[in-house]
């Protein structure tokens, strides 16, 4: 049995408190009026020194042009972007940690559906990570409900004023409306949580009464059913929760793209937590071949993610249709560093670091690659959400970092507390012996 | 000079693996093992050095990538630039996304083909080569372990091999030049 050390508990609680305080500051710091935005920008330009003057001159020219059109439209735009920013960073962090747990849930179900022999020694780690789906899902659901009913301005389709002047969104409003959005979110999350509940229950029952593998067979059936449900709902979830930030734009492989991202993040998290537990002297039955296999998945799914990223990018880049290509133009013009930095972190780095077979068994190599992959996929979500919500007014500031700390603290607290609830070895699993003796 | 080897035949890969471990534990030298299919972990059990094929594959992949870049640069940028889809071909970097599929394919193509050719050359396999395996049953369902008898006591060695589960043991006087 695993016991949660006081240090880890304290660490996660400190993360949550610091994150919460930072978020409150982030929300309180939002500019309340156009005057404040002007002040902030003037102060910012002054800090910039000589370089800033040119910018200021340029923006003067712009504002003169806009004055003719009716005053402070430009500053009002920036005001709305900055007011959105803490909400968007809260949303990104909430979604990112939720998607890790969801990716692990899918990976767990695949192990059962495929009757995998190598992985049963890792099942309890996976079950513990999916425990985060409950609190993480509730928080995300509340944020989604607030956004869907236009308490904040994250989704432009939720703003009746915008929709009234927008033919394209009007045409999509049968799908993109607050009520439908919430009902769908409830169905998606309800289904995932239901599977999680029964999968964990069956796994524990199998430990108690392994004769005849009655519970194992139930796990198999429910896993296969869940995977069918999952791949449909995950795809729709990606349209609703991510793609609808840019309601004019669409990509037909977006569901797969988000899936690759959450899958690789989930697998990476399994590897990181397994290595952590092993370093603390638990999981003595996990050998370096298991770590090797997890690292192979990290490597492979990183390549798969790149394949989907490129498939989406190249077709849109090549055809150059204005309504499609605008998505990448905003990202390349305003988000150059995160956009290309993410490619380096999610593709080139894991490709080079994890290519060598021997490196996949060196724990610190896997940890290092894993941390970079997780940061890279956070930035991936950031790139999907921020351009549509805060536009060019982005920077990684106090609210982004605090939101990540808050959810990281919650994630660690929930996951490691869930680990204490059951023995670390799923001893009733029929493939356990094969898994223990797994060697590459 | 003739050297003495012992051929021990097995009919199960698990028995063979155990036998390899036992024979090596007794410090006998295993010359070669002939199997009808690749036996997982046999190379480690025999103590063979790690293959360097993976390193060559990486280098061949780099060669393929370079060839693809140079080739596309010559064809599409230098030799015959065209304006395709409003993207005039004046710079490799700006048109790079269009060349990625070719870069990827040639990387894989070079790595795969040259790796196979290297593997054949390294294992001394080429068309019309005479088969080296001493017993045709190793191409069907038998596993043959060739142990160097050298200066060892042949009787002791054969009884050891018998204990490990060999179904047939033969002592062979092998000429140096018979293959």
Digit-coded pLDDT (tens) for B115-129: 999 999 988 888 888
Domain membership flag for residue A2: no
pTM of the model: 0.87
Cα distance from N-terminal residue to C-terminal residue, chain A: 28
Domain membership flag for residue A142: yes
Domain membership flag for residue A70: no
User: How confident is the model over A340-371, as pLDDT tens digits?
Assistant: 999 999 999 999 999 888 899 999 999 999 99
- Count up the domains in chain A and report the number: 1
Q: What is the pLDDT of residue A61?
A: 41
Substitution target from B97, B98, B100, B107 for chain A, most A beta carbons within 10 A? B97
Domain membership flag for residue A170: yes
Alpha helix (H) residue ranges in A114-159: 123-130, 133-148
| Alpha carbon distance B151, B174 (integer Å) | 14
Between residues A52 and B45, which one has the greater pLDDT? B45
ipTM, 2 dp = 0.78
To the nearest whole Å, the CA of B176 is away from the closest chain A CA by 37
Q: What is the band of B73 on the pLDDT scale with cuts at 50, 70, 90?
A: very high
Cβ contact B41–A357 (<8 Å): no
- A-B interface: how many C-beta pairs under 8 angstroms? 20
B residues 47-106 closer than 8 Å to A (CB): 54, 58, 85-87, 97-98, 100-101
Q: What is the pLDDT of residue A187?
A: 97
**Which CA distances in Å does A316 have to A19, A122, A313, B94?**
38, 40, 5, 15
Residues in chain A closer than 8 A to B85 (CB atoms)? 318-320
Cβ contact A318–B58 (<8 Å): no
Domain membership flag for residue A232: yes
Domain membership flag for residue A31: no
Domain range enclosing A353: 88-436
Domain membership flag for residue A78: no
Strand stretches in B38-177, DSSP E: 83-84, 87-88, 143-148, 168-174
Cβ contact A318–B98 (<8 Å): yes
Phi/psi of residue A265, nearest 5 degrees: -65, -40
Nearest CA in chain A to B41: A440
Domain membership flag for residue A46: no
Q: pLDDT 10s digit of each residue in chain A, 440 long?
A: 888 889 999 999 999 999 999 999 999 888 878 877 877 777 766 554 444 444 444 444 444 444 444 557 778 888 888 888 999 999 999 999 999 999 999 999 999 999 999 999 999 999 999 999 999 999 999 999 999 998 888 999 998 888 999 999 999 999 999 999 999 999 999 999 999 999 999 999 999 988 889 999 999 999 999 999 999 999 999 999 999 999 999 999 999 999 999 999 999 999 999 999 999 999 999 999 999 999 999 999 999 999 999 999 999 999 889 889 999 999 999 999 999 999 999 999 999 999 888 899 999 999 999 999 999 999 999 999 999 988 888 888 899 999 999 999 999 999 999 999 999 999 889 999 999 988 87
Cβ atoms of B13 and B39 within 8 Å: the answer is yes
Cβ contact B97–A357 (<8 Å): no
With pLDDT > 90 as the criterion, what percentage of chain B qualifies? 42
To the nearest whole Å, the CA of B126 is away from the closest chain A CA by 29
């Amino acid at each position: 049995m695993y016991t949660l050390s006081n240090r880890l508990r304290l660490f996660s609680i400190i993360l949550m408190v610091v994150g919460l305080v930072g978020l409150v500051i982030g929300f309180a710091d939002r500019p309340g009026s156009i005057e404040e935005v002007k002040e902030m920008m003037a102060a910012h330009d002054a800090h910039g020194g000589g370089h800033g003057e040119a910018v200021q001159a340029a923006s003067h020219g712009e504002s003169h042009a806009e004055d003719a059109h009716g005053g402070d439209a430009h500053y009002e735009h920036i005001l709305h972007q900055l007011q959105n920013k803490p909400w968007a960073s809260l949303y990104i962090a909430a979604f990112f940690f939720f998607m890790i747990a969801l990716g692990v849930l899918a990976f767990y179900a695949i192990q059962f559906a495929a009757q995998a022999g190598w992985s049963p020694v890792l099942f309890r780690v996976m079950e513990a990570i999916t425990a985060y789906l409950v609190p993480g899902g509730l928080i995300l659901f509340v944020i989604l409900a607030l956004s869907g009913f236009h308490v904040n301005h994250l989704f432009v389709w939720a703003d009746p004023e915008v929709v009234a002047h927008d033919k394209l969104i009007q045409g999509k409003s049968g799908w993109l409306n607050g009520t439908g959005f919430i009902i769908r979110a409830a169905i998606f999350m309800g289904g995932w949580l239901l599977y999680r509940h029964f999968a964990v229950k069956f796994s524990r029952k199998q430990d108690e009464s392994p004769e005849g593998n009655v519970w194992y067979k139930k796990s198999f059936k429910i896993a296969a059913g869940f995977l069918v449900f999952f791949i449909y709902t995950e795809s729709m979830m990606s349209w609703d929760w991510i793609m609808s930030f840019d309601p004019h734009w669409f990509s037909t492989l977006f569901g797969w793209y988000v899936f690759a991202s959450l899958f690789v993040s989930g697998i990476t998290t399994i590897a990181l937590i397994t290595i952590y537990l092993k370093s603390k002297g638990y999981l003595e039955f996990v050998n370096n071949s298991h770590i090797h296999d997890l690292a192979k998945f990290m490597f492979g799914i990183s390549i798969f993610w790149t394949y989907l990223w490129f498939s989406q990018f190249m077709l849109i880049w090549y055809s150059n249709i204005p309504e499609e290509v605008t998505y990448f133009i905003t990202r390349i013009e305003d988000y150059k560093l995160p956009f290309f930095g993410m490619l380096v972190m999610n593709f080139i780095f894991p490709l080079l670091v994890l290519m060598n077979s021997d490196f996949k068994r060196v724990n610190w190599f896997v940890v290092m690659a894993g941390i970079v992959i997780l940061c890279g996929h956070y930035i991936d979500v950031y790139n999907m959400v921020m351009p549509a919500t805060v536009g060019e007014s982005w920077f990684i500031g106090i609210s982004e970092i605090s939101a990540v700390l808050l959810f990281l603290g919650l994630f660690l607290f929930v996951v490691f507390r869930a680990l204490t609830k059951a023995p670390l070895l799923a001893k009733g699993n029929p493939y356990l012996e094969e898994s223990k003796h797994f060697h590459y | 000079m003739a050297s003495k080897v012992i051929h021990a035949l097995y009919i199960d890969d698990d028995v063979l693996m155990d036998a390899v471990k036992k024979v090596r534990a007794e410090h006998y030298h295993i010359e070669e093992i002939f199997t009808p299919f690749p036996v997982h972990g046999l190379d480690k059990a025999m103590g063979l050095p790690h293959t360097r094929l993976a390193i060559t594959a990486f280098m061949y992949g780099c060669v393929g990538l370079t060839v693809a870049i140079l080739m596309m640069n010559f064809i599409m940028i230098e030799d015959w630039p065209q304006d395709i889809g409003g993207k005039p071909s004046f710079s490799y970097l700006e048109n790079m996304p269009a060349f990625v599929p070719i870069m990827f394919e040639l990387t894989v193509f070079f790595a795969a083909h040259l790796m196979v050719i290297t593997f054949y050359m390294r294992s001394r396999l080429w068309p019309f080569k005479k088969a080296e395996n001493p017993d045709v049953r190793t191409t069907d369902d038998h596993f043959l372990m060739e142990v160097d008898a050298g200066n060892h006591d042949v009787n002791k060695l054969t009884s050891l091999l018998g204990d490990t589960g060999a179904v047939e043991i033969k002592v062979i006087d092998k000429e140096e030049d018979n293959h």
